[in-house]
Chains A and B, each alone.
Chain A
Amino acid sequence: DADVTQTPRNRITKTGKRIMLECSQTKGHDRMYWYRQDPGLGLRLIYYSFDVKDINKGEISDGYSVSRQAQAKFSLSLESAIPNQTALYFCATSDAVVAGVETQYFGPGTRLLVL
Chain B
Amino acid sequence: EDKVVQSPLSLVVHEGDTVTLNCSYEVTNFRSLLWYKQEKKAPTFLFMLTSSGIEKKSGRLSSILDKKELFSILNITATQTGDSAIYLCAVDPSNYQLIWGAGTKLIIKP
Contact = CB atoms under 8 A, between A and B. Distances in A.
Decide if the interface of chain A is mainly helix, strand, loop or mixed.
strand
Contact of A104 (B9, B31, B98): B98
Interface of B: 4, 9, 31-32, 34, 41-45, 48, 50, 88, 90, 92, 96-98, 100-103
B94 to A, nearest CB: 9
Contacts of A107: 42
A27 to B, nearest CB: 13
Contacts, number: 55
B42 A108 contact: yes
Interface of A: 4, 31, 35, 40-45, 48, 50, 58-59, 88, 90, 100-109
Contacts of A40: 9, 102
Contacts of A100: 31-32, 50
